[in-house]
Chain A
């Protein structure tokens, strides 16, 4: 009885080893060996970050609130640095900024981010009856959105730009910077080129509608300044755009 069960165990081990050898080899070929795994007890860190408001005027302060789990090292960039596992701090960004919290721990690392948009001009919040130029700009100037890997204008982008052109015609003193943005797919280098084509496509359409080229500059940020950082189509679409910023 005892001897038989031992034999069974040996047999099973043998077969398992054999299966591992064959199966393992066929499947894993070519793949990089897995990353060094952390000790079993170490859990993957998590981190969240929120802002009291995501849209401010210059000089306004925003409270960042964060919390994390399983992190031994937590930092917030730019400008905040290393912080406690959870807490709050006040920041006063002079320009639109994406704050990113990076958590590192024995179980790996995680990031979360929040973007604070700062209105371009130093105008005080406009009275409700007579909205200021920044408010008007926000209400009337519409960004153009693009398909994956494309820089030609869709129908919705044309109608958005047509409305933008009407507004720019009504305020001939306004100048704009058109920023080309891309989603996270594709290489950094290729996206810098693609982003510029998007900004130029928007500019060229506005030129056709009679807006003078010397009122517009273009710049490509590629995938360097995303509006959101999730890896899904909703976010990717948000990032594939020509974005209008009021210039001085």
Chain B
């Protein structure tokens, strides 16, 4: 136990060092020793690994006329926030920018930006043009360390001349910049988050942009809707719904099409059916069902047909998640050993194995990272609160992401594998938050009503 605690501490010291190498150097100097063994516990999320992030300046885009000005403000703010939140660039403060700002490549003087005080590596700039009801963002990303300026990205983004589309175009430009500067990481600025909110009276499924904008109610089932899960192709959301039927009510699986914006049919099964999860190719659904006996994991085809049972014990097994890389393993929660904890099995139900933890307590809400290497989950240790952890699936090493900040539950990975969305009670009520996968930069997305069970769209 003591050894474990020491190891955890050394791990977390290193985690902190990921955030600030200077602080790490200071710690080493102060503590005198950096435990060499701890180096093996180094945990890579791809977050803050290098201290030398690209220094990026983002110029105000020129607005063609007064009508374009409000859209330019939206565009700039959204672009700035997207880039800042990506965690892969260091944004140069606008107070260091030269007096004259280019809006097209011919006006660019690279040395104005690469020299002190800006010291920028890259500059994003351009202009917004309105033609009738359409909007065009002429966007450029230039390497200003090259004396003549080298184009990294030049693209025209088109949409309608609305605030919503100015926001959308900024997200697209941000994703392109992030992909260029990170060596191909998928940007998440155009992704969405499905979640459960009681703002309309009942718990229904809601949607919002990844930054919390455009929150709107999706379903109107009128009872209790829970646990939304995006299909891998982004076109459907499976969730748990309480559907009345012939004077009885029970938890069932519901499907919502985000293409046709309506519920699509899914078979009604006996008993309690909940916590759906898509196989990575979208061809199957796994969920908890008591239709075939005890509360166990079943798998069906994507349309709900051909139910097969995967677990057979007299206990509760639920919250299945598929290995998103291979589709060959499922991790789930079961209380077959007493308390609910995590188990792993093959996708056909064979080779069930308990995922051993270094301490007791509830281990629930598993979420498998897009690259298949990490598992995020909520753990209620005997001493305390629900907190979020990440486990490296191969080495089983752990990193704690939250502490002493309310209940933190239901993590869900962003498609970039670097951000998590989760629910937390740290403000006094249950709300949706995002953070980087090392626990840093928590950001609250919802503020009114009670909000829970977020699920990040796969693209």
Interface assignment of A40: CB less than 8 Å from any CB of chain B: no
Inter-chain contacts of B317 with A (CB < 8 A): 193
- In Å, the complex CA distance between A22 and B335 comes to 41
Task: Establish whether residues A193 and B295, one from each chain, have CB atoms under 8 Å apart when the complex forms.
Answer: yes
Given contacts A31-B404, A219-B248, A220-B272, contact A192 B240 (CB under 8 A): yes
Q: Residues 1-45 of chain A: 1 if any B CB is under 8 Å from the residue's CB, otherwise 0?
A: 000000000000000000001100110111111111000000010
Inter-chain contacts of B122 with A (CB < 8 A): none
Given contacts A190-B364, A193-B272, A219-B248, contact A32 B435 (CB under 8 A): yes
- In Å, the complex CA distance between A44 and B426 comes to 12
The residues in A between 68 and 127 inclusive whose CB is less than 8 angstroms from any CB of B are 73, 75, 77-79, 100, 102, 104, 108-111
Inter-chain contacts of A221 with B (CB < 8 A): 224
Interface assignment of B26: CB less than 8 Å from any CB of chain A: yes
Q: Whose C-beta in chain B lies nearest to the C-beta of A247?
A: B247
The residues in A between 191 and 237 inclusive whose CB is less than 8 angstroms from any CB of B are 192-197, 217, 219-221, 224-225
Chain A: interface secondary structure?
mixed
Inter-chain contacts of A197 with B (CB < 8 A): 295, 316
- In Å, the complex CA distance between A188 and B448 comes to 21
* Stretch among B9-17, B75-83, B101-109, B129-137 lining the A interface: B9-17
Interface assignment of A65: CB less than 8 Å from any CB of chain B: no
The tally of residues in B whose CB lies under 8 Å from a CB in A reads 73
Interface assignment of B378: CB less than 8 Å from any CB of chain A: yes
Inter-chain contacts of B240 with A (CB < 8 A): 189, 192
Task: Establish whether residues B316 and A224, one from each chain, have CB atoms under 8 Å apart when the complex forms.
Answer: no
Q: Whose C-beta in chain A lies nearest to the C-beta of B424?
A: A35
- In Å, the complex CA distance between A26 and B449 comes to 36
Task: Establish whether residues A22 and B30, one from each chain, have CB atoms under 8 Å apart when the complex forms.
Answer: yes
The tally of residues in A whose CB lies under 8 Å from a CB in B reads 48
- In Å, the complex CA distance between A187 and B340 comes to 9
- In Å, the complex CA distance between A189 and B253 comes to 13
Task: Establish whether residues A25 and B448, one from each chain, have CB atoms under 8 Å apart when the complex forms.
Answer: no
Inter-chain contacts of A217 with B (CB < 8 A): 248
The residues in B between 290 and 322 inclusive whose CB is less than 8 angstroms from any CB of A are 290, 295, 316-319
B310 to A: closest C-beta gap in Å: 14
Given contacts A190-B335, A192-B275, contact A29 B405 (CB under 8 A): no
Inter-chain contacts of A73 with B (CB < 8 A): 448
Task: Establish whether residues A109 and B427, one from each chain, have CB atoms under 8 Å apart when the complex forms.
Answer: yes
- In Å, the complex CA distance between A185 and B317 comes to 17
Interface assignment of A55: CB less than 8 Å from any CB of chain B: no
Interface assignment of A248: CB less than 8 Å from any CB of chain B: yes
Inter-chain contacts of B429 with A (CB < 8 A): 102, 108-111
Task: Pick the most buried of A100, A190, A194: most chain B CB atoms within 10 A of its CB.
Answer: A190
Inter-chain contacts of A50 with B (CB < 8 A): none
Inter-chain contacts of A30 with B (CB < 8 A): 8, 11-12, 15-16, 399-401, 403, 439
The residues in B between 200 and 218 inclusive whose CB is less than 8 angstroms from any CB of A are 200-203
Task: Establish whether residues B428 and A108, one from each chain, have CB atoms under 8 Å apart when the complex forms.
Answer: yes
Interface assignment of A132: CB less than 8 Å from any CB of chain B: no
B171 to A: closest C-beta gap in Å: 23
Inter-chain contacts of B247 with A (CB < 8 A): 247-248
Q: Which of A22, A33, A104 contacts B448 (CB 8 A)?
A: A104
Interface assignment of B450: CB less than 8 Å from any CB of chain A: yes
Task: Establish whether residues B339 and A25, one from each chain, have CB atoms under 8 Å apart when the complex forms.
Answer: no
Given contacts A187-B319, A219-B249, contact A192 B453 (CB under 8 A): no
The residues in B between 436 and 459 inclusive whose CB is less than 8 angstroms from any CB of A are 439-442, 444, 447-450, 452-453
Task: Pick the most buried of A25, A186, A194: most chain B CB atoms within 10 A of its CB.
Answer: A25
- In Å, the complex CA distance between A145 and B311 comes to 28
Inter-chain contacts of A225 with B (CB < 8 A): 224
Task: Establish whether residues A75 and B251, one from each chain, have CB atoms under 8 Å apart when the complex forms.
Answer: no
- In Å, the complex CA distance between A104 and B428 comes to 10
Interface assignment of B365: CB less than 8 Å from any CB of chain A: yes
Task: Establish whether residues A192 and B288, one from each chain, have CB atoms under 8 Å apart when the complex forms.
Answer: yes
Interface assignment of A149: CB less than 8 Å from any CB of chain B: yes
Interface assignment of A177: CB less than 8 Å from any CB of chain B: yes
B157 to A: closest C-beta gap in Å: 32
Inter-chain contacts of B340 with A (CB < 8 A): 149, 186-187, 190
Hey, which bits of chain A sit against chain B, CB under 8 A?
21-22, 25-26, 28-36, 44, 73, 75, 77-79, 100, 102, 104, 108-111, 149, 177, 185-190, 192-197, 217, 219-221, 224-225, 247-248
With A35-B442, A78-B202, A194-B335 already in contact, 15 other A-B pairs whose C-beta atoms are closer than 8 Å: A25-B13, A25-B23, A30-B16, A30-B401, A31-B402, A31-B404, A32-B403, A102-B429, A102-B449, A187-B410, A189-B288, A189-B364, A190-B318, A219-B248, A219-B251
Top 4 A-B residue pairs of the complex, sorted by shortest distance between their CB atoms? A78-B201, A193-B316, A30-B12, A31-B403
